[in-house]
Structure 1
Amino acid sequence: MTDEIERAAYAVLLPAVSSLELDETVRRYLSRGGVSILLGETRDEYLARSMSFERRRSETQAHFAGIARQAAACAGSPVLVAVDQELGGIQRLHRLVPGMPSADALRDLSVDVIEARSYEMASSARVMGVNLFLAPIVDVVTGINPWLHDRHLGADPAEVSRIACAFIRGVQRAGVIATAKHFPGHNQTEHDPAVAHAIVHGGMEALEDGLEVFRQVIAAGVQAVMPGPAVFPALDPAQSASTSQKVIGLLRDTLAFDGLIISDDLDAVSILRGHGITETAVTALKAGAQLLLVSSESGLDRIAQAIIGAVKSGELDRQQLLGAADKVRQLAHKSRAQVDAGLYVSYPISAGHLTRRVTL
């Protein structure tokens, strides 16, 4: 029983790793029940919305395929391998997959063309072992928003829905899980939530355009949704969207989303809001998040032990934790089964050797 809870506590963590190599911390996490990793970017790359020259020069498809195989071997089970592969924003796979048009160019393309281009790009990623995109961004941005600058699809909810739904259909047809973010839609915020407290002001009417886009992407079959890092006083003045039972309840109960709920980065200042990472992780799970995005350097064992302790004390419902872990595992196994069934075309993988270690 204790082992079941322990493995579940690790299964609900999504650590962002610092390179295309698995360090001892991440290997231990996978051996203890972890089934997900995020292949992230550096802070400088995140701010620039572009991978560094050195990374683009040195990384190959073989590096991604290799780390995916290593992760599955350490876990002894299928693993979710995630990347940021946004439209008009962060594209972690840079030149290694067919590129997508810019956000402006996408507006001139038909849904059939967008879906076909998305399928081609995701198919190449799938062969490399990547099976989860933390994309698309579907926030309808109508005001100041330095956080989503050069990352969003615009201010027209109909156009955001049209592009995002085509992207989701193409990506998921290729066997890659798409993640619509950032619920309930960050239409404007003055601060970058990674480094400051971010608030989205306004009543429910101000959120309606964003919510309508989420209704559309849910209807299109998106398999994962990520609540965002800001606080929405109209919904919950005390918690960020990623740790708010009211916000996640709106997604689950009102919008009837039954897929995977992935928190935004719990290390973000706007999510922590002065609390520790362990307390925040438990709060996110209690609120209904099922997979918690954290840095691999934030103390994975410490977070897992806090989750276990919360179950033992009765603070966190045991079945809620087990249900979240099962949801993550089911998606990982489904992804592996699709590959085993031979649903995807194989492409040659180039050789190479990673020469640079990066840090989030």
Structure 2
Amino acid sequence: MAFSPDEDARAILLPAFDTLDVLDVMVPFLEKGGCSILIGETRAEYVARAMSAERLAGETPAVFQARIAELKSVTPHLIVAVDQELGGIQRLTGLVPPLPSLDEAHALDDASLAERCRITASAARELGVSMFLAPIADVIDGQNPWLRGRTMASYPEAVARLVSAFVTGVQSAGITAVTKHFPGFNDLAGDPALVDVSLLTPRERILHNALPFRAAIEAGIKAIMTGPAPVAAFDGQNAASTSPAVMAMLRDDFGFGGLIVSDDLDAPATMRGRSLLETAISSVNAGADLLLVGGGPHLDALCDGIAAAARSGRISLGRLSEAAAGVRRNAAAS
């Protein structure tokens, strides 16, 4: 089946919402070719690394499942993503059996940890979820206010073991795991979502700390998310999520053949003074397949801009089609 640039432009976007009240925006988006949604959290919940008391009181499994079912009545094969991190943000708190704590995870053997992750993922699957934006594979050996309270250990071997077990368990339940944030951000002076900041770590240290990404690939990870800030050792001008050099390294040096997901494209360290449309064009041209953006009424104009860029040659029609096809393959399994 052939798809138009307008349909492909919608297929490559992963719009994020902090509420379940999304039908007004999402139904037209899905009807025109969209096939993904991130059911996210508020900024306050993100900062707290916990869901609010109001959300926990009002959001039941039945409510969550019913809203996803409404979206799937429009697009049966729908990627429904959530942040469900081991030791970090868990969007499905109160809705599914919890993941083990970090202390528990480190104490469990690989098979037991994978099984605990499978149980959580199986319950999420029952709700209609098909993708976890997790595990976090970054190894923090410096400062990093962006990932504080979300990472799993301070040395690569320990993180790699947990990443491998998480990926194995989650994906055995039919959920796509998305290991993030390639190539790993060990030391950042600020939060890329708030300020334009770059990773200044030497290449050798970055590659040393990238062991968890290699472990994820060995475990059969289906998707990897690139980071939101420039990595000076590889490309000082473009954030990892808009960098051809970083994505080529992931494909060629790490041998990853799955879905490349961008981090939030509206982060200051990713946009670097550009518009969201220009940033999205750069991301797909660099090699990203699924672009994470804030959801809202602006989606239609953004999609139209991406389609127009493909028609004018600013994005290769082949690259756009390739990215959209990869997303649709993942959605078909959801």
TM normalised by structure 1 equals 0.90
Report the AA paired with residue 318 of structure 2. Q
Per-residue Cα deviation, 1:222-252 (whole angstroms, up to 9, x for no partner): 1000001111110001000001000011001
Q: Which amino acid aligns with 2:137?
A: V
TM-superposed CA distance for 1:74, in Å, is 2.1
Structure 1 residue 145 corresponds to structure 2 residue 160 = no
Q: Is the contact between residue 230 and residue 238 of structure 2 (CA under 8 Å) also seen in structure 1?
A: yes
1:65 matched to 2:65? The reply is: yes
Report the CA distance between 1:107 and its aligned residue.
Answer: 1.3
Give the SS at the match of 1:146: coil
Aligned to 1:167: 166
Preserved contact between residue 190 and residue 197 of structure 2 (Cα < 8 Å): yes
Paired position in structure 2 for 1:291 = 290
Aligned to 1:309: 308
Deviations 1:229-276 (A, max 9, x none): 111110001000001000011001111111111100111111111110
**Residue 91 (structure 1) aligns with:** 90
* Equivalent residue, structure 2, for 1:120: 119
- Does 1:186 find its partner at 2:185? yes
1:54-101 deviations in Å (ceiling 9; x for gaps): 1011111112212221212223x4100000000111100002111122
Higher relative contact order (CA 8 A, sep 6+): 1
2:325 equivalent in structure 1: 326
CA distance in 2, matches of 1:314, 1:145: 39
Which one-letter code corresponds to 2:176 in the other structure? I
Give the stretch that moved more between structures: 205-214 or 188-197: 205-214
Worse-superposed segment, 193-202 or 136-145: 193-202
Structure 1 residue ranges without an equivalent (≥5): 336-360
Question: Which letter does structure 2 place at the counterpart of 1:13?
Answer: L
Q: Which position in structure 2 is the counterpart of 1:266?
A: 265
Q: Distance in 2 between matches of 1:290 and 1:129?
A: 22
Paired position in structure 1 for 2:12? 12
SS at match of 2:178: strand
SS of structure 2 residue aligned to 1:186 = coil
SS at match of 1:294: strand
Call closer, same or farther: CA 1:48–1:174 in 2, change over 3 Å: same
Q: Write the deviation string for residues 156-206 of structure 1: whole angstroms up to 9, x where unpaired.
A: 111101011001100000000000000000011010010001211122111
- The 2-side partners of 1:100 and 1:22 are apart by 27
Counterpart amino acid of residue 62 in structure 2: A
State the 1:18 CA deviation: 3.4
AA at the equivalent of 2:111: D
- What letter is aligned with 1:313? S
- Cross-structure match for 2:256: 257
3-state secondary structure, aligned to 2:128:
coil
Q: Is the 8 A contact 2:228 2:270 kept in 1?
A: yes
RMSD, matched Cα: 1.4
Distance 1:60 1:278 in 2: 36
Cα distance, 1:210 vs structure 2: 2.6
User: How many residues align structurally?
Assistant: 334
Task: Give the drift of 1:298.
Answer: 6.7
Percent identical among aligned pairs is: 44
Supply the AA of the counterpart residue of 2:22.
Answer: L
Instruction: Measure, in 2, the Cα distance between the counterparts of 1:268 and 1:298.
Output: 18
